[in-house]
Amino acid sequence: MVDAPVNLPNYRYVSRKRRTKEDRRFVSGRGKYVADVDVPGMKHLAVLASPHPRANIIRIDTSAAEALPGVHYVLTGDELAGATNSLFHGLDLPNIKWYPLAVGMTRYAGEWVAAVVADSRYIAEDAAELIDVEYESLPAAVDSEKMIDEDQPLVHPDHGSNVLFRKTWQWGPVDEDFAAMSNTITYRARWGRSSTVPIETFGVVAKWDDINEILDVWASIQMPQYQDQIAAALHLPMNNVRVHNDVDVGGSYGVKRGIKHTVLVSYLTMKLGFPVRFIEDRLDNMSGGDAHGPDRIFDMTMAFDDDGVIKSMKVRALDDVGAYPGRAPLQLGKPITALCGPYRVNSIEYEAISVTSNKTGQVPVRGFGQSPTNFAIETGIDRVAKFLGIDRIEIRARNLVRKDEFPWKIPPGSRYDSGDFHLVLKKALQASNWDDLIARRNALRAAGRLAGVGVATCLEPGGGNNIFEYLFNPKLQITTFVESILIKVEPTGAITAVMCTTTSGQGHETLVSTIAGEELERDPDTIRVLHGDSLEALPTRSPVASRMAIILGTATSNAARDIKAKMITIAAFDLGVEKDQIEYADGEFSVRGEPSRKLDWTEICHIAHKQFHRMPPGHELGLQSYAVQQVPGGGDLPDENNEVSLYPCFSFQAHVPLVEIDPSTGKVKVHDYFIAHDCGTAINPDIVRGMIIGGVAHGIGAALYEKFEYDADGQLLAGTFVDYLLPSAHEIPPVTDIEHCTPSPMTSLGQKGSGEGGYLGAPAAIASAVNDALAPLDIEINELPIRARDIEAAIYEKTKAN
């Protein structure tokens, strides 16, 4: 359901129901995923993983594996570490080395110890089993809370501590605000180690061409600075690395980083002289790949008055990033962007603690830490309501930023660009038939069931400039996260756009063709969109941070508008009038007031490419333009108070689910789910709706089912889809999505981000609903996932106590 405001421009293609450009090849079975890439002469890699969470590697005997027919090479960590540079960390951690294969010590169960290259994956796996490794098993560091103050085995002895980062910031008068408030509540909210778990595992094929000195890489990738990091690890100039961005990526939602896999196969292709491919199997992926997400303990305090107006917050977030930090600790940084949610909070204290442990390394996950933070905030809003006996909706209404207050600056410095939070919340309540929903809940309760309604109002920051990195590592003075587009118009008038990165389901070809078509008044179906490889392409920072509609979309508008301006210049010259006399509509450039004096689209293209004698003197030949787009709103480093304006655009979502719990088993059924959502101008409504509903499903998984569980010794207990539970069509209810549009003033057509979608609020909303259901029993569970067994155990404990 799209609820468009009356004052939006009357777009031809934007915001219209239109089929996507990409889906046709996917429904035909004609996508080109990495496992479909067939490079002649390609050999296959399998890894041997450590069974120990923490162990010294005493000896590795590869002779039996090497002797197996069909095996070409067996690689171990010492050789690889000797030939490559340590992989990149976001924090400044000079004493934590990270290589694709373990060196001297294994630091999590599942860490790769050796790699085999063979004629087939089958033979490579056989050979991996023949590698004989002698380990000295050691006690592991597992409990993240103990990493700070207690003696624990050191994951990285050279670093000297299991704490990677710890810092406290205060923005605004926190102490005064706390002193002025009559009430405070303190609570803990815990986010379990879950992730995005795409159905396609990570895969990569690399081929070294020693004559041309080019490393070709095809990968299932979604990662900023991928080619930079490949080149750095392998001591190669960046222009010797060619990443093929036209590989379709079978889902990612943040996690498909793959740098260690890529360095591994790249080293081997350079050494062995033939292409090498590594496609993870599911266990490789879940135990040793880029699979795990944030694992966080929030200790929160809110200070508020008797009316429930929240003045100040203290947030302490402890995040367990596992054995190798990579970029993961920075996921504590992004939430600074919207650290108080959509609420009018006057001051905030934030303590961010990142610890390492003997678990699989954490990687970026959809929202880059924002969804756990939103869950922690929303838990508090519900608790303030409960504390004061005020309705949860009313508490939100009293604290939400009002529509006449934008742009609204929050204490850490972000400026919320636009929105109408109260109206969007109202639309969610209307869609849910709120009074009726409460009546249904009460009827279920009257029938002896446990039932609850949830509420969550959350933000999705979009378009990150990534300056939060500086707060965590002053060496990272990154103040832009560019995205680029090249658009060219052929002599015949056909339009081709070259984008510069991969796509993992977000529909970028549709995004670019729709916006270019809108700007140029040409049918988007006729516009071809390519994914340029990394050597051909303009600068990119990849499709992360809910940024492509914002940055790539604005780039596309700007390049297209430039092309239109050039065409007007050519038309004016040829028709002998000033530029401002030319009107453009429907592919025709005519003289204002004299519609018969005109040139059509293809004539101008023909002139630009082939008729120098009709071109304005000095004008560029051909018809092309490119845009390398800065993040809207600029990019300054934090000021002396650590205040910094981070993401430019803020989408808003209000969630209302109804759940029922079977009191005997603790099983939760989500009956209905209503969401009202505002991401400004939706470029393609079906794509936005899909990402919202898909994000809700992902959030239901994080709230109720999904966890990379470890035992006390550090063994991963969820390495398959039998143990790591993904919601099916049974668990996900019909979702009613109401789209509202407050155009962003920051972007070309008012668009904001939507890729992180419903995931940024659904976990909070489901937790709210479950706790509403458990409230009659005086039970509250603030640890995700809330599994059936957790509820059943809590009910049992409560009953026993009574």
Partner 1 sequence: MKQVEITLNVNGRDRKVAVLPRMTLVDCLRDILRLTGTHVGCEHGICGACSVFLDGEPIRSCLMFAVQAEGHRVTTVEGLLKDDGSLSDLQDSFWECHALQCGYCTPGMLVASQALLDEIPDPTEDDIREAISGNLCRCTGYQQIVEAVQMTAKRRREGAAHG
* Chain residues in the site for partner 1 (CB under 8 A): 19-20, 22-31, 33, 35-36, 38, 122, 196-201, 248-253, 279, 281-282, 504-507, 686-687, 689-691, 693-698, 720-722, 726, 728-730, 732, 734-735, 758
Answer positive or negative: Cα dihedral of 377, 380, 382, 385: negative
* CB nearer to partner 1: pick between 461 and 690: 690
Of 27 and 211, the one with the shorter C-beta distance to partner 1 is 27
Q: Phi/psi of residue 85, each to 5°? A: -85, 155
Q: How many CA atoms lie within 13 A of 143 on its CB side?
A: 8
Based on CB atoms, which residue is closest to partner 1, 29 or 82? 29
Locate all alpha helices (DSSP H) within 32-102, ordered by sequence: 63-67, 77-83
Q: What is the spatial distance between Cα 249 and Cα 465, in angstroms, rounded to a whole number?
A: 24
Helix (H), strand (E) at residue 425:
helix 421-432
Euclidean distance between CA atoms 280 and 684, whole angstroms: 33
Nearer CB in complex with partner 1: 121/488: 121
For residue 222, the minimal CB distance to partner 1 (Å) is 10
In the complex, the smallest distance separating the C-beta of residue 693 from partner 1, rounded to whole angstroms, is: 4
Q: Which residues pair with 583 in a beta bridge?
A: 590
Q: Which is nearer to partner 1, 340 or 716 (CB)?
A: 716
618: left (phi over 0), alpha (psi -120 to 50) or beta: left
Shortest separation between residue 735's beta carbon and partner 1, angstroms: 6
Under DSSP, the state recorded for 757 is G
| CB-nearer residue toward partner 1: 20 or 184 | 20
Whose Cβ is closer to partner 1: residue 317's or residue 735's? 735
Question: C-beta of 29: minimal distance to partner 1 in Å?
Answer: 2
Helix/strand/coil percentages in the chain, nearest 5: 30, 25, 40
CB 504, CB 256: distance < 8 Å:
yes
Tell me the C-alpha distance between 696 and 260, whole Å.
31
Q: Which two tokens stand for residue 46?
A: 């399998």
Q: Please state the φ and ψ torsions of residue 169, each to the nearest 5 degrees.
A: -115, 150
Q: How far is the CB of 128 from partner 1 (least distance, A)?
A: 16
Q: Shortest approach of partner 1 to residue 214 CB, angstroms?
A: 25
Nearest CB to partner 1, comparing residues 468 and 724: 724
DSSP structural state of residue 630: P
> Which C-beta is closer to partner 1: that of 277 or that of 392?
277
Q: For the CB of residue 25, give the shortest distance to partner 1 in the complex, in Å.
A: 8
Least distance in angstroms from the C-beta of 292 to partner 1: 15
Q: Give whichever of 461 and 699 is closer to partner 1, judged by the CB atom.
A: 699
Please, which contacts does 390-397 make with residues 24 or more away whose CB atoms are closer than 8 Å?
Answer: 390/308, 392/455, 392/768, 393/425, 393/429, 393/434, 393/455, 394/308, 395/308, 396/425, 396/455, 396/457, 397/422, 397/425
Name the residue among 80, 137, 141, 82 with its Cα closest to residue 106. 137
Q: Which is nearer to partner 1, 24 or 619 (CB)?
A: 24
The nearest distance, CB 680 to partner 1, in angstroms, is 20
40 or 237: CB nearest partner 1: 40
Q: Name which of 317 and 764 has its Cβ closer to partner 1.
A: 764
Amino acid (1-letter code) at residue 119 = D
Min. distance of Cβ 17 from partner 1 in angstroms?
9
783/796 Cα distance (integer angstroms): 17
Strand (E) positions, 646-734? Answer: 649-661, 668-678
Provide the minimum distance between the beta carbon of 31 and partner 1 in the complex, in angstroms, as a whole number. 5
Question: In three state form, how does the secondary structure of 549-616 look?
Answer: HHHHHHHHHHHHHHHHHHHHHHHHHHHCCCHHHEEEECCEEEECCEEEEEEEHHHHHHHHHHCHHHCC
- The single residue listed with the structure tokens 């979309």 is 553
Tokens of 172: 């605004």
State the nearest-atom distance from the C-beta of 754 to partner 1, in Å: 12
Q: Residues 186, 384: contact at Cβ < 8 Å?
A: no
CA distances from 561 to 235, 257, 553, 567 (A): 41, 34, 12, 10
Cross-strand partners of 57: 135
Instruction: State in angstroms the smallest separation of the CB of 507 from partner 1.
Output: 7
- Smallest separation, CB 290 to partner 1 (Å): 15
Minimal distance, residue 196 CB to partner 1, in Å:
7
> Tokens at residue 490, please?
């052929």
CA distances from 335 to 346, 547, 678, 730 (A): 17, 15, 19, 32
Least distance from partner 1 to the Cβ atom of residue 619, Å? 41
Instruction: Compute the least distance from the CB of residue 125 to partner 1, in Å.
Output: 11
Torsion of CA 526, 531, 532, 534, to 10 degrees: 170
Q: How far is the CB of 542 from partner 1 (least distance, A)?
A: 15
Closest CB to partner 1 among residues 203, 714: 203
Q: 774 to each of 432, 701, 761, 778, how far by Cα in Å?
A: 21, 19, 20, 6
**Under the phi-then-psi rule, with left for phi > 0, alpha for psi from -120 to 50, and beta for the rest, what region is 536?**
alpha
Which CB sits closer to partner 1, 234 or 249? 249
Distance CA 497, CA 512 (A): 8
Nearer to partner 1, 412 or 695 (CB): 695
Beta strands in 374-514, from DSSP E residues, in sequence order: 408-409, 415-416, 450-453, 456-462, 483-489, 495-499
Q: Rank residues 720 and 799 by Cβ distance to partner 1 and give the closer one.
A: 720
Query: In the complex with partner 1, which residue's Cβ is closer, 248 or 660?
Result: 248
- Length of the chain equals 802
- Residue 536 neighbours by CB under 8 Å, 6+ apart: 498
